[in-house]
Amino acid sequence: MFIVLEKFLKVHNFSKVISDFDDYYQSHPNFPSLFALTDTLSFLNIENVAARIEKNQLDELPESFLGYVSNDVQSVELALIQKQNELIEVTFEGKKTVKYSSDDFKVKWNGVVVAIEPNEEEVYFASERSTLIGSLIVTCVIGLFCLLNYSGISALALISFLLYVSGGVLSFLIIREKMNSEQSGVSKICSFGENTSCDSVIKSTKAKITSWVDFSDLPILFFFTSIVAMLIEPSSYLWINALSILALPVVVYSIWLQYFILKTWCTLCIGVSIVLLLQMFTTVGSLTEIFSMEFRGVISACLIIPTWFFVRNYLNDNQSLRKKNQELIRFKRNFEVYQFLEKPLKISSDHLVSRGIELGNNQNPITMTLIVSPSCGHCHKAFEEALNLYHLNSSKIRLVILYNLNPANKNNPTLKIALNTLALYEERPNDIVQALSDWHIDQIGLEPWMEKWGRDNTDIKFEKDLLNQYTWCEENGFNYTPVKIINDSEIPKEYTLEEMKFFISEMEDLENTEPLIVD
């Protein structure tokens, strides 16, 4: 359903989050459920709603939304629904767009709707399409520069070279679609019409020649061999174009397969076929000259063929590892797995909260406690992650900073950092985040920090607070920093604070659930 979701996000001006959405959605423990979809949208801070409504409320829905619609093949399928005047346009995954009247649509729609708030300030980044265009231009410029250095280069040779480059780009797009990598402009090109789907053709078992090679390998081998051969010897275009005549049966088979067997068109495959046919036409009138030439392409083929199969195996292995990684991440992000690994504290930290630094409303359902030491290098990153998590969920989390520091050790130069932050929090609580950030995130150094935030003497009570925190850490067996705690359970070492964002909803529900009282 990635093409549908990608188009849905683009329609609402969220193009910049498509890549992140793909990763988070596929790694969600409940993938590919509706909950995984809405939870991923929420995680990316996209306001959304999912509900089942009465079908007569269709007119009240936004112009574009997701819904479950019968596609005449399966029972229901998630589709993009767009209202176009009196018609309802429904886009199914990787297949076709169908237009229904309002009454016909209501028959096929089950009433479930997923809607999001559009982003009014879309920011566009460099897309794959611009990258490919840039690569094509660079290749053409370099190649043409090399060719123009040869004397007597003909217009036909230049046209042939441009055809090879075009074929090479199309071949690359075919491999990219086959590898099913990041959803992008390729998918849009391949599904612009009702009967177009590159994915269905390229991944068809009928497109395989042997167990180790299929039709998607042939274009990339042919065109890149042609490019290299022509750069070695510009006149090679003559025999290359003649050789393309041998590809005529492949072109005919490809068209026959798409039209009669699969009943869907691959736009990229058609593009390759057109390039090959254009090459064939350039051979008319020059066959005698062609067959009298030395076969210089052997060198190019010897370079390209083994290189391609090595690269292809690398790409396949990379794709396989990516899928396995997503499965492992999905397992790790399962809340039940997290609960099994977390460690309840021996002694609760409730009595220490008033003695530490507290950010956020104390009525928030989730209490995140971070135990640090000013001299601990790992604590800097932990504090930054904790602060970011707090800012993203300030209505759900309160952040408590405690120190694991022996106040009796006067030789510790960073002791004054802990004492002064406790004093600053009591006197100027609005400045505490900046003071902690200067130390842990910006790391401005001891003397500049003391010059900005320090004082000559601090109240003895802050040393007592430090001693209470230090003693509590000893009682719980915390002889290290940082220690990360949520609701009186230590976060497993297998997890980072950044990963806690995946469990915020479950933790909130857990804390808001009233315990069952048994008489």
**Domain of 17: which CATH number?**
3.90.70.10
Judgement on whether residues 179 and 54 belong to the same structural domain of the protein: no
Is 90 exceeded by the pLDDT of residue 75?
no
Judgement on whether residues 233 and 153 belong to the same structural domain of the protein: yes
**Domain of 416: which CATH number?**
3.40.30.10
Q: Is residue 121 part of a domain?
A: no
Judgement on whether residues 298 and 260 belong to the same structural domain of the protein: yes
| Phi/psi of residue 483, nearest 5 degrees | -115, 130
User: Strand 397-403 to strand 366-372: parallel, antiparallel, or no bridges (unpaired)?
Assistant: parallel
Mean local confidence (pLDDT), 154-174? 83
Measure the CA–CA gap between 312 and 428, rounded to whole angstroms: 61
- Please state, as a whole number, how many other Cβ atoms lie within 10 Å of the Cβ of residue 36: 18
Judgement on whether residues 23 and 148 belong to the same structural domain of the protein: no
pLDDT band, very low/low/confident/very high, at 127 (cuts 50, 70, 90):
very low
Is 80 exceeded by the pLDDT of residue 207?
no
Q: Is residue 123 part of a domain?
A: no
> What single DSSP character describes residue 31?
T
**Domain of 230: which CATH number?**
1.20.1440.130
Name the strand (E) or helix (H) holding 373: none
Judgement on whether residues 107 and 242 belong to the same structural domain of the protein: no
pLDDT band, very low/low/confident/very high, at 183 (cuts 50, 70, 90):
very low
Judgement on whether residues 287 and 379 belong to the same structural domain of the protein: no
What integer pLDDT is reported at residue 433 of this predicted model?
A: 94
Q: Is residue 364 part of a domain?
A: yes
* pLDDT tens per residue across span 374-392: 888 888 999 999 999 999 8
| pTM: predicted TM-score of the whole model, two decimal places | 0.51
Domain closes at, from 72, 92, 116: 116
- Measured between its terminal Cα atoms, the distance across the chain in Å is 49
Q: Is residue 122 part of a domain?
A: no
What integer pLDDT is reported at residue 291 of this predicted model?
A: 46
| Chain centroid to CA 447 | 42
Q: Is residue 335 part of a domain?
A: no
Judgement on whether residues 110 and 192 belong to the same structural domain of the protein: no
Judgement on whether residues 287 and 430 belong to the same structural domain of the protein: no
Place of tokens 């995954």: 93
Q: Where are the beta strands (DSSP E) in 20-120?
A: 48-52, 64-69, 77-84, 87-91, 97-101, 109-116
The CB-side HSE value for 347 (13 A sphere, CA atoms) comes to 12
Is 70 exceeded by the pLDDT of residue 353?
no
| Phi/psi of residue 98, nearest 5 degrees | -120, 140
Measure the CA–CA gap between 335 and 27, rounded to whole angstroms: 13
Is 90 exceeded by the pLDDT of residue 408?
no
Give the domain range for residue 95. 2-116
The two structure tokens encoding residue 431? 């400045």
Range from 23-37, 124-138, 201-215 that averages highest in pLDDT: 23-37
Q: Does the N-terminal peptide bond of residue 32 adopt cis geometry, omega within 30 degrees of 0? A: yes
Mean local confidence (pLDDT), 323-345? 81
Judgement on whether residues 318 and 366 belong to the same structural domain of the protein: no
Q: Which of 103-112, 143-152, 465-474 has the lowest mean pLDDT?
A: 143-152
Q: Is residue 517 part of a domain?
A: no
Number of domains making up the chain: 3
Please report how the helices 446-453 and 432-440 are oriented relative to each other, as an axis angle in degrees rounded to 10.
170
* pLDDT tens per residue across span 459-492: 788 888 899 898 888 888 888 888 999 988 899 8
β-partners of residue 105 are: none
Judgement on whether residues 324 and 353 belong to the same structural domain of the protein: no
Q: Is residue 339 part of a domain?
A: no
Judgement on whether residues 292 and 397 belong to the same structural domain of the protein: no
SS (H, E, C) 54-74: CHHHHHHCCCEEEEEECCCCC
β-partners of residue 277 are: none
What integer pLDDT is reported at residue 232 of this predicted model?
A: 78
Is 50 exceeded by the pLDDT of residue 349?
yes
Mean pLDDT over each residue of the chain, to the nearest integer: 79
Domain closes at, from 328, 356, 375: 328
Is 90 exceeded by the pLDDT of residue 244?
no
Judgement on whether residues 28 and 170 belong to the same structural domain of the protein: no
pLDDT band, very low/low/confident/very high, at 238 (cuts 50, 70, 90):
confident
Domain closes at, from 328, 363, 393: 328
Q: Is residue 371 part of a domain?
A: yes
What integer pLDDT is reported at residue 191 of this predicted model?
A: 60
| Phi/psi of residue 347, nearest 5 degrees | -130, 125
